[in-house]
Structure 1
Amino acid sequence: MSKTVSKIVSKKVSKNFIKQLSFYLILIAIPFVILLLLELLLRLRSFGNEYPLFVEKPATNNQSVLYLQANPKVINRYFANESLAPNVSPDTVYFKKEKNKDSFRIFIQGGSTAAGFPYGRWGSLQGMVEQRFKRLYPDKEIEIINTAMAAVNSYTLLDFVDEIIEQQPDLVLIYAGHNEYLGIMGVGSAFAAKGGRLATLLHLKFKNWRLYQLLQDVYTLIFVPDIQPSKTNQTLMSQVAKEKEIIFGSDLYNQGIVQFEQNMSLVLEKYQQAGIPVMLGNLVSNEAAQVPFSSLEIIDWQAIKKHLSQSNATAEISRLNTLIKQQKTAANYYQLGLNLQLVARYKEAKQAFVLAKNYDLLRFRAPSEFNRVIERLSQKYEIDLVDVQAIFNENSANGIIDNKLILEHLHPTVAGYFLLAEAYVELIVKKNLINMPAETYARAKARTDIPVSIVDQLYGEFVIRKLVNDFPFTSKMNKGTEKINLPASRKFEKQALIKRIEKSSWLKTQQDLLVKYQQRNEILEAAKIAGTMSSAMVDNAEISYIAGQLYQQLNDWQMASYYHKKALQLQSDKVQYLLALAQDYFLLKRYQQSLSVLTTADNLVTKTSPQKQQVLQYITKVKQAVLTKSADNKVRAVHE
């Protein structure tokens, strides 16, 4: 009897407990349900915005394949008030929405250097590597997509990773680190998130929620002043710098290093879990030709450089070494480096210039500690470290990086960008990451292929003139130029430069340049223009054919075959394209391939077609070449 009562009581207690637990669970769930309903309501009312990293390319009439591109408005995802977002975006590079089974897809991440500033796409890591691969892997479909853009740092790289993984990359190339202090969300940036790293990571996690965007709008309405600082006539560097003095070894300095290492760890963990190989490059910047930014207000560098004297250098070195024991400043180290150079003590001079960068309070260049972080990360995650520093040192006078390879503080010259790409390319080839043998094409010959046009170079020169005429390159003591003139050039190139500065149609400007260079019989420059147009216009067969014809005029049959083959991939039944490719293969002595292409052409033309006789003559010629080659091989075999 007592056992029965006990069971009844136990069941009642159990039921009461379940009821109470259910009540509390419902009570706890109610606010979440309300929030979820509010989120759905806001989305139904089309409140807020979402900026995916990739969007579809606008379709054209003859487009048979769907393409994606990096979203030109993706930077807006980091700003509640989009009018405050800097005018930066990834370059437009189209890639297939559905990845081909046999294609090899590479994504690039980084800041303005990876993006090719100031030249744009064709000076970028993407443009340079793509051009190099046309020679090294001519028969492999390789897509190289750039997500890099100015003023971003490791937070943006981390934010992009999941969306990049969705696009099935076979390899990711990263060159980043210079924007960690003053880039968007950097620890010393005017665009820093309030609340530190955790708050920034939460912001990245919730930024697409409409409820979060509503709260941001309310906060902006209440707490942010109506009058915002104007961006007119300001360089991007002027806009981003908030903390102008980040002392070496300070809390803020260390926060930047921790932020970079922890964010990049999360980036590399994600790629590692997805089984995607990564190549991480160490960083370079101007050592000898960039005075410390933080010293420009207090030191007349023009006067100091004017009075540099080899006869007085030894005494100056002694004086500065004594001074540095008391005052470890960027200015003292930089002056020491200048004097050490004069007496050919180059190794010590380089060390002094590196220390000048490290102690520069205005941190637009990453301190050397970042390269140690990059090395640690590469070891920890067993990824390939690209030694960019080494290739720049090897190609700099006495191993000291200056304006030969770096334009101002950290953006490479055209020659510098070529070397940056070479560092990655050589390691890709060495590691056989494309999974096929590369053709042999020496670096010295490859320089001729650099896709940066004359007008691109002129534009870059003009942009840099403007950049160094503003903060942080100038001060009352170190004044800039009152008037910024366009670089000297020929009339038609100057007109094209002005159009680019005015942001006129890129395509129309390139078409005009293509005509001009052909009229002037400057075929190499014309071929370069046509080649970049072919890369940009992924669904235009005609421009690829024109590029191939121009390379034929240069007797560059390998590059001609690359573009003719590309034209055929877009329009496979064009007999004109088939004949051009057959000629390329014939002159490359790839007779069987030439014969195969001609056979396809023969099947396409009717017996009454004027092209029929031409095709048959070509077939006969190729067959004769095959027989001759076979006979030569037999003779050679007998002699051996």
Structure 2
Amino acid sequence: MLGYVVTWDSLLRILKINRFGVAGHWSACAEFVRVGGAVQGFMKISSKTRLSSKSALSTTRPDSQASRPRRQISRGRKLCFALIPVLALVVLAEFLLMLLGVAPLSSTADPFVGFSNSTPLFSPLPTAPDSSGDDLLSRLEAMQDGAPAVSTDAKPAEEWLATTPSKLVWFNDQSFPRVKRPGTKRIFCLGGSTTFGRPYSDTTSFCGWLREVLNRIDPHTRWEVINAGGVSYASYRVAAIMEELSQYDPDWFIVYSVHNEFLERRTYADLLNRPGWLLTLQSFAAQTRSYSVLDRLYQAARRSADHLPVATQNQLPPEVDERLNHTVGPVDYHRDASWRSGVLRHYEFNLQRMVDIARRCNSQILFITPASNEGSCTPFKSEFSSLQSESQQRILSRVQQGVAALDDADYAAAATLLEEAVELDPAYAETRYRLGQAYVALERFDEAGREFSLAIEEDICPLRAVEEIDSALRRVVAEATQEPRDVWLVDFNEKLHALSEREQGNRILGDRYFLDHVHPTLEIHRQLAVWILEELKVAENGVGAEAWIPVEETVLSESEASIFSRVDLRSHGVALRNLAKVLHWSGKFVEAAPRASDALELLPNDPESRFVLADCLTHMGEIDAALVQYELLFEDYPEWGRGYVYYGALLSRVEEYEKAKGYLMLAVLHKPEDAYVLFELGRVHLALEEWAFAEESLRKADQLYPDDPATLELLATAREKLNRNPSPLR
């Protein structure tokens, strides 16, 4: 009988997996089969023994047996006994699927969205980069003069990877050897446009700073820092990129993916309508390999039946398709609590998936908390709660009066008016932001910070991370923490607020730290890199970090000189101009004007930058300054047709009608089918009492844009004047 006893030691040997080779897996399988056979044999012998015992009892004690009642087994026990072999089969199936390399669905697929097709971010280069150029390897070698010798000779057959050309619209041009060289540590930085380095590029991003500084403070290691940040990429796209990069032997993933979650259209109605218990059950099942196999079989069966690819999730295009690209400004956004809930749930899932991906490839992962421009960036869109139009008018009236009081430096009156507006509708983002401005002027900084935060939360077009994004990130990091630690966090948000308090005396983040709503200044990219280095040094402690040179100002100055020696100032000017154009397009004129001015410093007399600045000044009410910019524009570029109508309309506004008419007539030649141009020209003709010309221009405007009330009103005036004065032409 001893040969058939299954001990705990045997069971532990069955379940223990050898991590260092397939042979260990198969020896464990053999152990499982051997002991499993022993168990089966033992069960057969035990069964025979029980039968013979029962026979003996029945012959020797018939009266006793007949008189004793038969014991009943409860339904609960029956169910438990029935589940034991099922669970044993599931465990065995999971074990075998693990040996075969099948991964759980939760770590390889996104149940919320799918992609219509996939092009890898990195593809093979025909030849290795020229070591004489400004590629990654040559820079690393140049910075490591005097370091212990590490062979850097490229083997003839060495394969290099570079950013796929079709991806360069969204990603920086990066390259690295497919096989990591000895003495190298490889970091992939992932996220959205901040990781990319927008509005500039990789060179001045926090990734570029890490690359420079790491190879100066750690002379014993070659650090490869590859910038894989994608413009407008949200967490579900970042996770897909991370899956690809996991095959390239990374040591670290650094992830700053926080601000883009609400950019693309996707629906969560199906998921949100499922009961909570079903979602929990599906979440648990998705962590098993058996469910992964069943899902593949199901999808294959549906494809075979329908002769079409099956999309069980939202199908997104291979690259970002922002909602903002389909509208003039953020008009497509509206308050939608259900959609927001789905976005947040999806975000947390993707963070957990990133942790799983990092652990599967034995990499560490570092997340960065979100920080954004609070005090110098108006909400992208405000929307009333469910109020009657009369209440909305009262709110707008108080907001307008409050803004006027701010302009007049009557801050106490502004605060009172805006507080009244907040009481009428706490969810109107613009009111919250303006009240924050009033509190700043009154030096009530804590209250101002609260209002600015609420303005971000109530922004209907949430292009800055909301509080739930930050909370989800912290929650995932806390739940994933284990020993040895492999998930890390840089609290960018808290560190930047603390820096603001030291430098400004308050914790309100504004244009001192950000170029727009989320993109940090060059100085803050550098500071973020320093904070990341501090965390990396803690994480790398015991594996060489004790030999790191301290990150002192000398090291940073040397790194800065190296970085800016490679910066193309014209490219930086173009980047600032593009940023100004985006802000101008979205109606954020106060934020766009400084960026256009910065662009003009690097691109003197650039017509696009000057036009954006002039139009922003017009919308800001700085008419004299706007006229100066238009005069400079047409002095340098008299045929720059895009500005004719705007300059003509502004001249009309200050009653310089003859000069306005000249520019508006040029605008008609430039855009003969533009209703707005004809409307402005008709208005000028009316002011000059040129009734026939006014009637002709306004009639054409009405044909191009029918039934516009303003056009019809001026057209009626022109016809009335024309009937009274049949020969009014001068």
The aligned counterpart of 2:491 is: 387
The aligned counterpart of 1:293 is: 380
The aligned counterpart of 1:83 is: none
Residue type of the alignment partner of 1:393 = H
Find out whether 1:462 has 2:574 as its counterpart. Answer: no
The aligned counterpart of 2:33 is: none
- Counterpart of 1:281 (choices 368, 371, 375) is 368
Whole-Å separation in 1 of the counterparts to 2:124 and 2:605: 33
1:480 Cα deviation after fit:
7.5
Asked if the contact 1:235/1:467 (under 8 Å) is kept, the reply is no
Asked if the contact 1:89/1:149 (under 8 Å) is kept, the reply is yes
1:435 Cα deviation after fit:
3.3
Asked if the contact 1:279/1:385 (under 8 Å) is kept, the reply is yes
Moved more, 124-133 or 53-62: 53-62
The 3 A distance-change label for structure 1 pair 163 and 489 is: same
1:522-543 deviation per Cα after TM superposition (whole angstroms, max 9, x unaligned) = xxxxxxxxxxxxxxxxxxxxxx
Whole-Å separation in 1 of the counterparts to 2:267 and 2:514: 28
Find out whether 1:427 has 2:535 as its counterpart. Answer: yes
Percent of aligned positions that are identical: 20
The 3 A distance-change label for structure 1 pair 359 and 492 is: closer
The number of aligned residues is 412
Find out whether 1:58 has 2:168 as its counterpart. Answer: no
Asked if the contact 2:186/2:251 (under 8 Å) is kept, the reply is yes
> Where do 1:95-494 residues align within 5 Å?
95-182=176-263, 189-190=264-265, 215=308, 243-247=332-336, 250-295=337-382, 307-308=405-406, 312-328=410-426, 329-382=428-481, 383-396=487-500, 397=504, 398-432=506-540, 435-436=544-545, 437-443=547-553, 446=556, 449-450=559-560, 451-452=563-564, 453=567, 454-471=569-586, 473=588, 487-489=599-601
Residue type of the alignment partner of 2:170 = S
Whole-Å separation in 1 of the counterparts to 2:507 and 2:197: 23
Whole-Å separation in 2 of the counterparts to 1:205 and 1:357: 42
Whole-Å separation in 2 of the counterparts to 1:61 and 1:317: 60
Moved more, 263-272 or 306-315: 306-315
1:105 Cα deviation after fit:
0.7
Whole-Å separation in 1 of the counterparts to 2:182 and 2:378: 51
Asked if the contact 1:66/1:97 (under 8 Å) is kept, the reply is yes
Whole-Å separation in 2 of the counterparts to 1:110 and 1:240: 24
Residue type of the alignment partner of 1:314 = A
Cα RMSD between the aligned structures?
4.4
1:528-568 deviation per Cα after TM superposition (whole angstroms, max 9, x unaligned) = xxxxxxxxxxxxxxxxxxxxxxxxxxxxxxxxxxxxxxxxx
1:338-392 deviation per Cα after TM superposition (whole angstroms, max 9, x unaligned) = 0110111112211110110011111111112211111111101112111111232
The 3 A distance-change label for structure 1 pair 194 and 286 is: same
1:326 Cα deviation after fit:
3.4
Residue type of the alignment partner of 1:435 = G
Secondary structure at the residue paired with 2:406?
Answer: coil
Residue type of the alignment partner of 1:325 = E
Whole-Å separation in 2 of the counterparts to 1:283 and 1:456: 27
1:288 Cα deviation after fit:
0.3
1:559-599 deviation per Cα after TM superposition (whole angstroms, max 9, x unaligned) = xxxxxxxxxxxxxxxxxxxxxxxxxxxxxxxxxxxxxxxxx
Residue type of the alignment partner of 1:336 = L
Unaligned runs of 5+ in 2: 1-115, 131-153, 273-278, 287-291, 385-392, 482-486, 610-730
Asked if the contact 2:199/2:575 (under 8 Å) is kept, the reply is yes
Whole-Å separation in 2 of the counterparts to 1:295 and 1:136: 48
Whole-Å separation in 2 of the counterparts to 1:214 and 1:493: 59
Secondary structure at the residue paired with 1:95?
Answer: strand
1:317 Cα deviation after fit:
2.9
Asked if the contact 1:407/1:413 (under 8 Å) is kept, the reply is yes
The aligned counterpart of 2:160 is: 67
Secondary structure at the residue paired with 2:366?
Answer: strand
1:327 Cα deviation after fit:
1.0
Q: Which has the larger radius of gyration?
A: 2
Asked if the contact 2:189/2:227 (under 8 Å) is kept, the reply is yes
Whole-Å separation in 1 of the counterparts to 2:123 and 2:374: 40
Asked if the contact 2:406/2:414 (under 8 Å) is kept, the reply is no
Secondary structure at the residue paired with 2:520?
Answer: coil
The 3 A distance-change label for structure 1 pair 342 and 71 is: same
Moved more, 125-134 or 428-437: 428-437
1:239 Cα deviation after fit:
8.9
Whole-Å separation in 2 of the counterparts to 1:348 and 1:173: 34
Whole-Å separation in 1 of the counterparts to 2:602 and 2:349: 50
The 3 A distance-change label for structure 1 pair 377 and 412 is: same
The 3 A distance-change label for structure 1 pair 350 and 418 is: same
TM-score of the superposed pair, with normalisation by structure 1: 0.56
Whole-Å separation in 2 of the counterparts to 1:177 and 1:272: 21
